[in-house]
Amino acid sequence: MITWPDVVIIAPDLTTVPAPAQAALLDAAAIVMSADTWGNRYDTGLKYLAAHLGTLYLTGGLLLAGQVKSETVGKVTREYEVAGAVSGDGLSSTPYGEFYQYLIRTLVKAR
């Protein structure tokens, strides 16, 4: 089972990701991957996809459910971002996403 410290080994800059976000990012990465498809590359793919998502999270390119978009105190207003909103160039926007794409290409060649 991959944990956030496993991700930080390849992406040391992600040590500042809060624990609740760490769990959400690992879950999001696991949802889009299939252990059957990835085989013995599953753990590596999961770490790189989680690192990609973590980098987007820290740079504001990925919004997790529950993040506050705006907040007003007088007459109480709170607005939340849409869960899973992503900006940027997708997987090509981080080195981790680029390596994840490379891993995907190796899966196709391995078949």
Q: What is the pLDDT of residue 109?
A: 66
Q: What does the pLDDT read at residue 29? A: 94
Q: Do residues 84 and 61 make contact, with C-beta atoms less than 8 angstroms apart?
A: no
Q: Quote the pLDDT of residue 74.
A: 78
Q: Which of 84, 50, 81 is nearest to 66 (CA)?
A: 81
The pLDDT, as a whole number, for residue 78 is 55
Give the pLDDT of residue 39. Answer: 92
Please give the Cα distance from 18 to 28 (Å, whole number): 15
pLDDT in the model for residue 79: 63
Residues 6+ positions from 88 with CB-CB distance below 8 Å: 56, 61
Which residues, given as ranges, of the chain have pLDDT below 50?
82-88
